[in-house]
Amino acid sequence: MSYAGPDFEPPQPRRPRRRPLTLGVAALVPAALVGWLVYTAVADAGGGSAGAAPATNSSALGSAAASPADDGKQPAVSPAQTPTAATKSATGPLKGKVVLIDPGHNPGNFRHTTEINRKVNIGTNRKECDTTGTSTNSGYTEARFTLDVARRLRTILQRQGATVKFTQDGDRPWGPCVDERARIGNEAHADAAISIHADGSAQGDRGYHVILPASVHKGAADTRPIAAPSRELGERIAGSFVRVTGSAPSNYVGNGTGLVVRSDLGGLNLSTVPKVFIECGNMRDSKDAALLTSGAWRQKAAQGISEGIVSFLRG
């Protein structure tokens, strides 16, 4: 979102006589079969020791990291997976919690300029439905970035037991508009909502920042009930994001805090649930762009965001 990522040959075993080998294999097959059946039964029952708690540390949650084949631009989850598919997990510390993930913009917005340029009510005034978002100088779009991070984040949160809702999953030609994005989270009664973005500032502007809703009471906007919990959510996400990714807070907004308060975003103004935006970096800066286009770094970004959300929801 803009304002105006020594091989060696092992020794060969001596060949035993045929009869002992045959007898040995014959004796081992039944035992191996029994062992396999026992292992399968345990795995089907949930695996591990009874009552074992799900891992919540960074290394455990980060097991969904990009494969070596990831060229830094491929999504971690198939685009065919829709917001309503596989959105619940039976157990985990976040069981019963609902998280709304809002991947900023839409890869198809640029084909629908008429639709996204129409004005919608953002509570305090009227503003464009949506924008195309920004991109790196090499053409990697913000919309692709946000979807990839969102899908990685969904996987992590579902493993923690959360029910995850998306505003869009690349499954619609454009949008949704900013007012609908807020409404989706409200209607889901989300316990926490996060809108994922990357900025389009000038070269040399670097770092992440989390956008918090201002206390607004005007027109259809009333953020007073969510301003304080949204700040807590944003502070926890900012703290975990810097720790996991190693990125620094923005050097061009937020006075080095990594936090910015805004009253001009419909996605925040119209929200009735705790919600923040995160600008994960500046796509127009070459150093930040090298991070944003890295699949391994995007996994860290998702991990950092998730740990902030988990911390907020668990209190």
Q: What is the pLDDT of residues 279-310, one digit of tens each?
A: 999 999 999 999 999 999 999 999 999 999 99
Rounded to 10 deg, the angle between the 224-245 and 295-314 helix axes is 140
Helix (H, G, I), strand (E, B) or coil at 278: strand
Bridge-based pairing state of the strands 259-262 and 209-213: parallel
- Which residue carries 């990714």 as its tokens? 245
DSSP letter at 141? B
Q: Please count the other Cβ atoms lying within 10 Å of the Cβ belonging to residue 225.
A: 12
Assess whether pLDDT exceeds 90 at residue 50. no
Structure tokens at 122: 């953002």
For residue 279, indicate whether it is catalytic: yes
Assess whether pLDDT exceeds 60 at residue 15. no
Assess whether pLDDT exceeds 50 at residue 42. no
Q: pTM of the predicted model, to two decimals?
A: 0.74
**Contacts of 8 by beta carbon, 8 Å cutoff, 6+ apart:** none
Q: Check 115, 142, 187, 279 and give the catalytic one.
A: 279
Give the per-residue pLDDT at 91. Answer: 82
Confidence of residue 78 (pLDDT cuts 50, 70, 90): very low
In tens, the pLDDT along 93-113 reads: 999 999 999 999 999 999 999
Phi-psi region of 219 (alpha: psi -120 to 50; beta: other; left: phi over 0): left
Average pLDDT rounded to a whole number, residues 71-78:
41
